[in-house]
A and B are shown apart, each in its own frame.
Chain A
C-alpha cells in the first residue's frame, strides 16, 4: 500500500512566523492529497487539499505545494497564531481510494 512520510514530528514557532510541514508518498497512482488538523480530543478535520493536476493551492494563510515528479507535498502556514497549535496530518489517496496518513506534526505556536 501507500507509504506516507511526514516531517518534522514536532515544530515550534513564534507567533507571526511561518511553519512548513513536508510529506513524501510512494504510490505514483496517488492523485489527491488532503491536509488535516487535529485538535485535542477531536477527530481530524480537513483544512486544505490539492489534486495531482495542480502544483499549488492557497487559502488565506494556508498554502500547499505538490511536486508529483519528486512525490512530495508541503503545507505552509504564514503569520501563525496560537490557535494554529494542533497536530497536522498529511494524507494521500491511492488509486483504490484508500486514504493513508502521515505520522503527524505537532505544531506549537508560542505567543
Chain B
C-alpha cells in the first residue's frame, strides 16, 4: 500500500481565495483525521471521520473551514475564504478505527496564504 496520500504537497495562495486539500486514506481504514500543525499550537485535531461520517468537528476553527468524506477512499478539507493565519502544515491520517490502533500520517500539505 502506498500509505496515506495527500495533495498538493505545497500550496501558495492569496488571501481570500478558496483552498482545497485532498487526502486518500489507506485502503480498508475506516477512521480519518485532519490535523493542523503550527509552531505555536502543535498538532491540532480539526475533524475526525468514522465510516465516512464526521464524528467530531469541534476542532474546526471557524465556518471558513469545511471537510467532507464522500466515500471511503477520499476526503477534502476546504478553506473559503483563506486568511494568512491559516498558513500551516495540514496532515491527514487514517487508522483501522478499532480503538487503540496505529494512525498513519500522510506527508502533509504546507499551506501558505499571502
Q: Smallest distance from the beta carbon of A2 to chain B beta carbons, Å?
A: 9
* A46, CB-defined interface residue at 8 Å: yes
Q: 1/0 contact trace for A19-49 toward B, CB 8 Å? A: 0000000000001101010000111111001
Given contacts A43-B106, A43-B108, A104-B43, contact A98 B55 (CB under 8 A): yes
Q: Mark A45-81, 1 if CB is under 8 A from B, else 0.
A: 1100101000000000000000000000000000000
Chain B's closest residue to A52 (CB) is B100
Cα distance, A44 to B100, chains bound together (Å): 17
How many angstroms between the C-alpha atoms of A104 and B42 in the bound complex?
7
The answer on a CB contact under 8 Å between A93 and B99 is: yes
- CB neighbours of B4 from chain A (8 A): 43
Q: How many residues of B contact A (CB 8 A)?
A: 28
What residues on B are CB-neighbors of A31 within 8 Å? 99-100
The reply to whether the CB of B45 lies closer than 8 angstroms to some CB of chain A is yes
Are the C-beta atoms of A32 and B99 separated by less than 8 Å?
yes
Distance of A34 from chain B, by nearest CB (Å): 7
A87-B43 Cα distance, complex, nearest whole Å = 11
User: What is the total number of residues of chain A having a CB less than 8 Å from a CB of chain B?
Assistant: 24
Please provide the chain B residues from 46 to 63 with a CB less than 8 Å away from any CB of chain A in the complex: 48, 50, 55-56, 58-59
Q: Chain B: which residue is nearest A97 at the CB level?
A: B99
Known contacts: A31-B99, A46-B103, A49-B102. The answer to whether A89 contacts B43 by CB under 8 A is yes
- A8 to B103 Cα, complex, angstroms: 24
A62 to chain B, nearest CB (A): 15
Q: Can you name 19 A-B residue pairings with CB atoms under 8 Å?
A: A1-B45, A31-B99, A32-B99, A34-B103, A43-B4, A43-B91, A44-B43, A44-B91, A89-B42, A89-B43, A93-B100, A96-B56, A97-B31, A97-B97, A99-B103, A100-B45, A101-B43, A103-B41, A103-B43
The 4 closest A-B pairs by CB, nearest first: A43-B105, A32-B100, A103-B42, A101-B43
